[in-house]
Amino acid sequence: MTMAQQTAPKKEEPVAVPKHTAKIKSQVLAKIGKPPRLDHVEVSRHHNGRYRVNIWEQPEPEKHIAVTIGPRIGLSYYLTVSDTGEIIRSNPPLN
């Protein structure tokens, strides 16, 4: 067999995964309201339409402390999301 006859196996095209992070973030903030010391919202995709949403908050400033404390996770949700990005289920429930 010559080099011309050998062909490399075709690689499968990666399946496009929809990114619903902005839509999920806006739905979560609409349902729970904006926390007063909100730093940022982190949305990470897990598997089978499931997402983890962490709400990062700045700690309350203390007058008698010389050290700056960074943001921490104030709230965290595990969501099941539809193919269109709508939240189907949340643990704990979004209130």
The pLDDT score that the predictor gives to residue 18 is: 63
> Is 60's pLDDT higher than 60?
yes
- Sign of the alpha-carbon torsion through 75, 81, 85, 88: negative
More confident residue, 54 or 2: 54
Confidence of residue 33 (pLDDT cuts 50, 70, 90): very high
30 closest CA partner among 86, 82, 80: 86
The pLDDT score that the predictor gives to residue 13 is: 58
More confident residue, 18 or 44: 44
The pLDDT score that the predictor gives to residue 90 is: 97
CA dihedral angle for residue 25, residue 31, residue 37, residue 43, rounded to 10 degrees: -20
pTM: 0.74
